[in-house]
Structure 1
Amino acid sequence: MALAFFMLFAAGTAALMLSARARQNTDDVVNTLEIRGELREVLSLLQDAEIGQRGFLLTRDSQYLEPYNSARLQIGRRLSALESLVDPNTEQAIRVDQLRAAAERRLQETDATVALGREGRFGEALAIVNRDRGKALMDEVREIVDSALAAEQGRHTERAAKAIASRTWLSASLIGALAAALVLAVLSAQLTRRQFTGMAKRRDQLAALNEELETRVRDRTRELEIAREMAEAEAGRAEYERGRVELLLREVTHRVGNNLAMVSSLLRMQQAKLDDDTARAALETARGRIQTISTAQRRLRLGDDLQSTRADGLLEAVVADLADAALDSASITITSDFEPLVVSSRDATTLAVVLGELVSNAIKHAFEGREHGAIRASFTLQKDGVPTMAVEDDGIGFDEEQDLSSTHTGLGSMIIENLSRQYGGEIRKRRNEAGGTSIHILLPKLKIGDTAGAGDEQSAER
């Protein structure tokens, strides 16, 4: 392909060069013809001038001067045209100069005889003519013209030979170009055929690969379907086992709650048989704590991980039980604000006990001598991410100096302090704006989980 392109390029380049040379040869031939024509025209005009001169001198008829005058006017223009056609640096230019000089001498002799004839001195004019000087001048002119014509003929012959050679080389170049084009066509046909053959082979290979790929896809799809069916079956079994486990856990927690409720009922029955008020009060306090744990167990709803639960529902149940018990003795309103925070089931029970102690203490001691009161319980996540349990009332408050100097701490306070200490608890107690008591317990070590799964499940169950 590269050789064929090189041949085609070389043939095209040679054709252009030979074409330019052929145009130059054509111009040279035209130049030669023009020079030869001008040479013959100058010689013819000189002969016309000589004929007119002789006719006028022999016949003394002025009509013969017309061709003489016409030739006399054109000879100068023809010589100038001849000089413009000839290369100034050649021998032909020297011949043209010699021709101009000989022509001028011949015209001078002719002009002199014509002038004598116009003066009527025909004898003198004829004597000049008879001396044959004019003939010698004309012979000189003819010799120069013949020499110039011979030179142009030689140039013409040489240029004709070059033109023939150029045509030969041009023909050879065209033949080479045609051969290169033929080679290119053959090579292109072979390459095209090879490409089509390669394309057909690749198409067949691609079809085979597609068929193999489709077979693999079908096999893989079948394997995936079998795996999916097995996974679904396994998931079904796992879901079934999970359901059984959840059911058993709920049954256990419910039974524990019921058993604790039974213990609470037994304590109430025992309390009714006692005459000692102190013992009865102690049993009532113990029964209330057991009831709180029972409520927490019965309302415990585990999340998807079977280890965590949402604290808000459980704490709401504890507060509801305490509110129902408070209605027996006074009109105490209990409100709550519990965020749906997820904690472990063990921590949820502990939080229920702490909240029960806080609310119970508020019910017992915050409203002495009053018939009405309000308690607000909350379990929220602060801005710094620390879970905080708070119980606030609008009761009689507490004596801060006496509270600080007191060496006796009740069992409820000890329970609150000990359980809170498990989570790095910090108990903050103060008198609030309503004159009552506000207790905030900060639990920085209490782990809070994801609120998505457990919260949704418990909301659905409630």
Structure 2
Amino acid sequence: MTQAEWRVAHNAAVLMSLGLVLLAAVAALILVQGIDRQIGDVLHTYDVRNQARELTITLTGAESAQRGYVLTRDDSYLEDYHQSSSSIGTRLLALTGLTTDDPLQAARIRAIAVETVDKSDEMERSVKLVQDDRTADARRLIAAGVGERLMGSLQVALQQFIDEENAKLFDRNEQIDQSRRWLVGAIITALASAVILAYALFARTQRQVSALVLSKDQLHSENEMLEAHVIERTQALDEARIHAEQERQRVEALLQDASHRIGNSLATVSSLLGLQLLRTKSEEVRVALESARSRVHAVASAHRRLRLGHDLETASADEFLEAVLEDIAKTAGDPTAVNITGEFDPIVVGARDATTIGILAAELVTNALKHGFPDGRAGAIAVSLKPDPNGVPVLRVVDDGVGPPDGQSLGEGGLGSVIIAQLANQFGGAPYYERRPEGGLSVSVPMPNIETVSTAS
């Protein structure tokens, strides 16, 4: 090879090496930009999911307060209803702003907004009927199931909206991960090729030692810059992860504090009802106040005893219901007269469902104490939550008390039976009452529609 040919080959090799290094640098920059986009997508999806869940919680709170007001005419429920209703529009506006760049999700939000307006009108209509002293009409409106169907449709639509956001995030992450793999391969290939060319130039000529050393130094400098940039981005990701964990812990503390405050507030209401109970002379009023106090205490216990899991969205039924039974036993009067025991499988359910299950269990146990053990009669109540052979969770309360009188229709009675039926209906089931041959009553509530996250063996 002549000197001229060697010079041309040398220059071509040098240019190729520089081009490969430049290609690696460009690929690294594209990789960093992909990571930034991925972080942005995760944060955006978190905001959208959070707003959607907040809307679901707000709607549920408004419906619970509306039903509580219709059933009890307690103005405290009316205040909660107005507070929750005023937040619905804010949540919808936030979701609308977050989905402006996605026509499909924006259309879903518009459809959800229409259904939300219909649900709000239905709730407002029942509240207005109660305020106009037409409580029976309001209860018939609730019993018709229109509001429940609207709420069910809204919950399904919001869940589909959240699932669509999750699917979009998954698809975008898959695309970014695939691009990252190609880019990493391109960087490795480019750098390896550059090193091979540099080595070939060094091996074939001693006269180009100085030039090769300089080229090697330049390549080393580029590598250090890339490594420094990667370290910087890695540190940024670590800081973002630490910040996200701190935020999760803060949110967990806020949720626990909120549940505890709600429970304390309801406990205060229960105490006030107890004071009023001591001051009244009417036996009928005393019975009504005692029933109201017991139910408010049950709701307070359900909130104070709720302990969320690490995901801030679920709770274990066994820990939760054991705590609720302890509270009931402490307030049952003579703790030695009726022995209350529980046997629960560690079924993990959503936090909202856990609270409802706790209220349902408290209502069933309270009814058993009230009607099964009159005049200080001793006995036992067994509470269990286990899946049936089909995997459907079943809440069962069995007592060995006096049982219902002969000829009385089971499951038909006062407000307690209505509340039990409505709570069971939220899970797609209905209470089943059965007289026990040895005495007492067994009540089973299957919950086919409850969403269980996992069941520990």
User: Which structure's CA Rg is the greater one?
Assistant: 1
